A and B are shown apart, each in its own frame.
Chain A
Amino acid sequence: MSQANDAGSQVIASNMKPVQVKLVLLGEAAVGKSSLVLRFVNDEFQENKEPTIGAAFLTQKCRLEDKVIKFEIWDTAGQERFHSLAPMYYRNAQAAVVVYDVTKASSLEKAKSWVKELQRQANPNIVIALTGNKVDLVSGGRKSRRTSEGEDEDEDQDAQEVDEDDEDDEDYGVSRQVPTEEASAYAQEAGLLFFETSAKNGEGVAEVFTEIAKKIPLEHILSSTRGARAGGVNGSNGRVDLQTGANGQRLGGQQDKGACAC
């Protein structure tokens, strides 16, 4: 819960011009992608609970240090039939969260195949976070993470979690099939961020997005965004512009010009 609130508290007023980050969620069906997003976006986008056909589109703003980031989240449908549509959603994405279910070994295999696909087909600078969800189901055996938050969960969240994610392992005491070490080693090898989360109790969820935000070259995006999406962005936010100027000089001038011309 506290994690989710953290996320919520990061949401700020809209007077600051945000950096847009396109983020896509991928993973096998029923690993909890939608739940993760709903947990992250929660209060602000209650009405967005549209079912996943192709992909659901949600947005969430959060503050990172001195910047405001607007996540445009494409929560894709996990079923295999939607696979061929995925490129449409991860096209131009700056970040991807590839989700697997820690209680289902096959879901990690699928996640790996998604990672492979992203690394070959998607934006070359894409930041990928590998996320093992549903740790609340196996909370007994974990070391460095808090374990008991799950009990405080309100009924609402519970029901939702079951709805969205679990088809066969509602009963607790399901054993972990993907050891943290194994997944983490893979993530390291493949150059991914790695998290274990519980959409149900909020554990680790906000971290995923915060860490992604930290790792994304925001300045670069900003400048290129402004190049592509002229209007609106420039001028109104001095701080962000300064950042751009400082770090993105090679591109900066030209891009600004292009923006103004539009």
Chain B
Amino acid sequence: MAHHLKPPQHVFILPTPCDQHNPLFDTVQSTENFVLQRTKASKSQFLNSFLGTIQNVFDTKQAPFRILFRRQVNAQSLMIAEAETQKSIDQAWSWVQENFVVGLQVLDDAQEKEEWVLTKIRSLVTRADKGTDDITSDEKVRSASRAFRQTFNVLPSERLVSYYSCSYHSKMMNQGWMYISENYLCFYSFMLGMETKIFLELKDIGDLQKEKSKRGVFADAVRVVMKDGQEYFFSNLFHRDETYDLLVQLTTLTMERLLRNTALEHAPGQSNGDDGEGVKDVFSVDVDSLDSNESAYSPAPTTRPLRLGLEEQKRDSQFQLRFNLPISEHLMEESSATMVLGDKTDMFHGRVYMSESFLCFVCTDADPCVLALPLFTIRRVERMNSRSAMYALNILSWHQMRIVFRLNGPRTQCEKFCSTLKTNLKLQVRAMRSLKPFLATCFSEALLADRPDVAEKDSGLGWIFEFPGDPKKLKNKSKTKLWLQYFKDNGRNLTMTKMATFPKLIRVGLPNKLRGEIWEACSGSLYLRSMNPGEYTKLLKDNEGKMSLSLEEIEKDLNRFVAVNLISYQSEEQAFWMLNVLCDRLLPGYYSTSMYGALLDQTILEHLLEKTMPILSKHLKKVDVQLSVACLPWFLSLFINSMPLVYAFRVLDCFFFEGPKVLFQIALAILKVNGDELLASRDDGAFMDVLKKYFNTLDESAFPNSTNPKARALTKFNELMLVAYKEFESITPELVAELRRNHQLKVVHNIGSFTKRSQLRNIAPGRFSKDEMSVIYDRFYSALFYGRPQARGSNKQGEARALDSTTFVSFLGSIAHWAQVEDDQVDGDESVTVGNSPGHRRRGSNSTTATARERRRIVGRHFISRLFERFDQNGTGLLSLQEVTTGLDDIIHGDLMTRMQLFFDMHDLNKDGTLNRDEILGMSESLLFIFRFDDGDTYLGAISNFIRNAFEFAEKVESPKKETSSIDLDADKSETSEKKDGAEEEETKENGDITEEDKSKSSSPSEEPEIQMSLPSFRMVVLADETLEQFFDSGFANSCKLLEPVDRQRGLFAREVFDSLLSEGRKLAGSIAGGIQSRGSSGRSQSSTLATSSSATLTGRTSPSASLSDKSTSGGDADDSKSSLTLTSSQGGEKSAGQAGNVHDEYEDEDEDDDDDAEGDDLLDEVDKFLTEFDLESGGKKNLGLLSATDEDGSSSP
């Protein structure tokens, strides 16, 4: 940069739209294009706290100083810098003046000006981000990530990958931020009081397209099409291609995960249960050791931004693909270089790359060549004295071939390259030992040693049973000779350079005995085999005698698929590694259970047909023939079952060298050659006949009537290859890769919707409608998809189609609001964030609420896990879609009686048919848990009533049987048996892990007579209360929402406040402050109502003047629901009806602590306290961080 002043570090930010006339900021300085502002906050204690609020809610970068850029385009402003101190903002301001003002005067178009400024700022920011100062760049990402999480209410585990400024087009253009995380694509803008919020799941994206923005001028837009057809258009993306590539990469990963984690993929035969174990064993070994694809997703403790990981992963995979390297290789160094091979004088200019165990070179000149040299085949490296290049590496390969690389980079880069090479070579020394035995398995070695007739041990079946076809006709001998010469010139097997003549030698067909090895060399499986000596034998040994359904499937498939034919030319071990490359790299997803890869390529073939032969394509559509009917088997079996074997192998020769694009070329050529006849066929039968006939005559002359003897000698197969390579030259590996990327989302979604339909067909839907079933299905698999982050990349396919207890929680949370216990963790996380803000809410209440929160979480988990057990009818610990459907059907469509029974059974922990005291309390806790989000406080009264009535109407076991008017229909139990039950229960208590507190309680039974409530009395108690009756009659069922969105309380309220805050400013704040006063008094009166309603005769087990230590014990043992109710010091704080009320609960309870503690000795008081605590928590939940600020404000203002 030509300017003498260095830009201040970490002040500039990615340009963010904002409101210049924000009432909370004062303008300090302003020029034509820029404004320096400073917050008013420092002047007013009150406003300061509100700013804090905004920061907590919104977590934008609300630093006290900021610099805005005035957009002349739409009279808006973009924030370009912010700072905590006057000093740094001043620096930034001068820098801006110095660097921009002159430049801006030169430019006259507003649009141009803006672009120039923004680009400059962006590059500044990005450079800072990419710098070595990880902490700062990390902090930026972290804060963006926090804003993202809070705005979109995602789990704390969700990781933000990147965020971009962009605009979203709906009716109007909204300038805002695009957030891209592991699982979501989100957009947020806040303009002129209008909030736009878009939340898209990556897994639901059906198509991504690069577009020009609306006026068609700038190539800066991306269109996102969801699988349901909904479209979103984002423009003004400064790094559009980067954004697009990132989205493609992430959606691809998501698709892979979708395929693996949900219904779409599962090990064959896995549905039959028992053999699943075997399946896993056989499969997991090679997948785990070879598939490091998921490395970016492993929960590595690195704080490195995810995005860097993704970029690296992409670069590595491009590198691996280019040189057919194992995926364990990572690109470490690269440099431009010149290569000289052997004694020849030819020079190749290109690039040299280095990974852990390879040195690769590619020359892209007119005379192309490719070399991937395993480091363990290098005998010696010398640095040569060379005049032309400073760094020349003279390499002597195992085969005594001399290779010279001249590095043409800057000195430091070359030095780094050399030192990495040195380190890597040292690490490869061990691997050199296995080189000799390995080379003994290569036929090229035998050939060069001039003993070509020696049958190598462990070679293909062809060596024993002869190869297919007539060797004379195949010109086997002369082909072998050509290869011999090639090996001498360019190295062999592991050290072979692929020169311009290489493809030609491949296309004329490989000689029989070399075929297996050259396949390996072309596909890269040679590297795998050489780097994993003994692995195959070990696998065989480890799995010896194991049976699995996979084996059966494999045996069945043996005749149809490729493997058996590989074995003709290759040893078992060679074929094993070949298949590995075939399934993982060449044809990903072909041989998986959904065959999505094969289906994807069929879609691409159809697309290519339409592009290259529109008439035939149209004809097929007209007569309703599906191309895949004929072509899918070609691709799946690589023509082996369609063409005569001799020709199929010729295709394979090309395929292993050039990759899947060959299949497309040949398939299209077949259709082209037979075009006329195909155009005449009217149904798929005729279509098949034409092709079948063609394949059977491939060896016939293509031009039998030609006068030219050369043309007559041309077989139909020759013709086919010619057409394939000449007419379909345009089909390149890059094109295939791009088409695969473009079509994969659609294909996966098609498979998804097909799987959904066919699965739903086989589910007994109970009383659910089709739509409802569809929702249940979606949420079921959604829970599976998101639910097991720790299992990402693992192979546990057995669980892929059933919910475990963890995923069940998130599933239920997606159906019913009360079941969203995960949110609690978010709360916990947030409270930490909030706690870091200066001076608020540290006093006392924090630990208390933590205990209560903990308690509530435990109650919730217990309730849900008991529900899980109920749903899990066959006790497998996993819930199938059917079990979930049936379970929900009972809840939602059962009647009042069944639901009461359900609750009764669920809380009858000891299964004695009655509820004892602890079980009744457990019930009330569960009810509180479910009601916790309800507005109003009627349910508190209802639950108080429930407990009182329950204790009143339940039978007391110890005391003389006092018959109340309860209609105890189950009264056939004798007193003694009841006693016995009681005793038994005591025993279970003792055996269970109970805290001392519990023991002490049970040791003094006289104080707390055991009671028992039967189902009929439970019903009676429920029906006695209108709220409860309504709950069991319809409320609980209605809480499960299938067709309407489930409430997501978090965030919503806070946002509302935030919105009005901007428009109303002080006014609103004032009204809240006023509200605090009035609410305070009304809350108090309610609390006393509750307290006085306690008239039960039970004695409290502990002192009501609860100490904190008391609480922590009860929190600790709380996983047994028999434990006592939690007592907390901060009681009071009534359920407040309105949202405004919620805001002040927190401090209010502090005021009330002492007053209420004096009251009530009985248990019910404790319950009340618990209730309020409970409630308070749910209130706090709604408030988000807002609570803290108003709290502080409240305590200072009244």
Contact = CB atoms under 8 A, between A and B. Distances in A.
A81 B268 contact: yes
A229 B755 contact: no
30 contacts: A20-B685, A22-B683, A52-B560, A53-B561, A54-B633, A54-B636, A55-B629, A59-B685, A79-B556, A80-B268, A81-B268, A81-B594, A81-B595, A84-B595, A84-B751, A84-B754, A85-B628, A88-B628, A89-B629, A113-B758, A113-B761, A116-B762, A117-B758, A117-B761, A121-B757, A167-B555, A228-B623, A228-B624, A228-B682, A229-B682
Contact of A20 (B556, B594, B633, B683): B683
Contact of B633 (A53, A120, A230): A53
Contacts of A50: 641
A150 B93 CA distance: 98
Interface on chain B toward A: helix, strand, loop, or mixed SS? Answer: helix
B685 A167 contact: no
A51 B641 contact: yes
Contacts of B758: 83, 113, 117
B732 to A, nearest CB: 27
Given A84-B595, A88-B626, A228-B623, A53 B761 contact: no
Given A81-B595, A85-B628, 7 more contacts: A22-B685, A50-B641, A51-B559, A54-B632, A72-B684, A167-B556, A231-B682
Interface string B751-773: 10011011001100000000000
B594 A84 contact: yes
Given A53-B637, A89-B629, A229 B552 contact: no
A116 B761 contact: yes
A89 B625 CA distance: 10
Contacts of A22: 683-685
Interface in B676-721: 682-685, 688
Which interface residue of A80, A89, A92, A231 has the most chain B CB atoms within 10 A?
A80
A54 B632 CA distance: 7
Given A85-B632, A116-B761, A57 B268 contact: no
A158 to B, nearest CB: 18
A117 B755 CA distance: 12
Nearest to B271: A80
B629 A30 contact: no
Contacts of A85: 595, 599, 628, 632
B532 interface: no
B553 A79 contact: yes
A53 B683 CA distance: 20
A27 B959 CA distance: 68
B593 interface: yes
A80 B759 CA distance: 12
Interface in A228-251: 228-232
Nearest to B553: A79
A168 to B, nearest CB: 8
Interface string A33-59: 000000000000000001111110101
Nearest to B636: A53
Contact of A92 (B593, B624, B637): B624
Contacts of A174: none
Interface string B85-128: 00000000000000000000000000000000000000000000
Contact of A229 (B556, B559, B560, B683): B683
A25 to B, nearest CB: 15
Residue picked from A22, A79, A230, most chain B C-beta under 10 Å: A79
A147 B688 CA distance: 39
A91 interface: yes
Interface string A70-112: 0010000001111111011101100000000000000000000
Nearest to A225: B683
A29 interface: yes
Contacts of B688: 57
Nearest to A112: B762
Most buried by A among B555, B594, B684: B684
A200 to B, nearest CB: 18
Given A92-B624, A167-B552, A84 B599 contact: yes
B770 to A, nearest CB: 11
Contacts of A116: 761-762
A81 B598 CA distance: 11
B685 A51 contact: no
Interface in B247-268: 268
B754 to A, nearest CB: 5
Interface string B228-240: 0000000000000
Contacts of A82: 595
B635 to A, nearest CB: 10
Contacts of A79: 268, 553, 556
Contact of A113 (B553, B595, B682, B762): B762
Interface string B605-629: 0000000000000000001101011
A51 B641 CA distance: 8
A254 B468 CA distance: 55
Nearest to A167: B552
A31 to B, nearest CB: 13
A220 B362 CA distance: 64
A132 to B, nearest CB: 20
A229 B682 CA distance: 5
Contact of B641 (A53, A80, A228): A53
A55 B559 CA distance: 14
A87 B552 CA distance: 26
Nearest to B758: A117
Interface string B266-302: 0010010000000000000000000000000000000
Contacts of B268: 79-81
Contacts of A80: 268, 271, 593
A68 B688 CA distance: 21
Nearest to B272: A106
**Residue of B555, B595, B599, B636 ringed by the most chain A CB atoms within 10 A:** B595
Contacts of B595: 81-82, 84-85
Contacts of A121: 757
Contacts of B626: 88, 91
Contacts of B641: 50-51, 53
B761 A29 contact: no
A81 B561 CA distance: 14
Nearest to B592: A81
Given A81-B594, A89-B629, A230-B682, A51 B624 contact: no
B952 to A, nearest CB: 53
Interface string A146-167: 0000000000000000000001
A14 to B, nearest CB: 13
B690 to A, nearest CB: 12
A195 to B, nearest CB: 24
A89 B685 CA distance: 11
Contacts of A54: 628-629, 632-633, 636
A82 B593 CA distance: 8
B624 to A, nearest CB: 7
Contacts of A91: 624, 626
A53 B685 contact: no
Contacts of A51: 559-560, 641
Nearest to A163: B559
Contacts of B552: 167
Contacts of A55: 629
Nearest to B754: A84
B758 to A, nearest CB: 6
A120 B593 contact: no
Nearest to B629: A88
B685 A72 contact: yes
Contacts of A89: 629
A85 to B, nearest CB: 7
B685 A57 contact: yes
Contacts of B761: 113, 116-117, 120
A50 B592 CA distance: 22
B624 A30 contact: no
* A-B pairs with lowest CB-CB distance, top 6: A229-B682, A51-B560, A72-B685, A53-B633, A81-B593, A57-B688
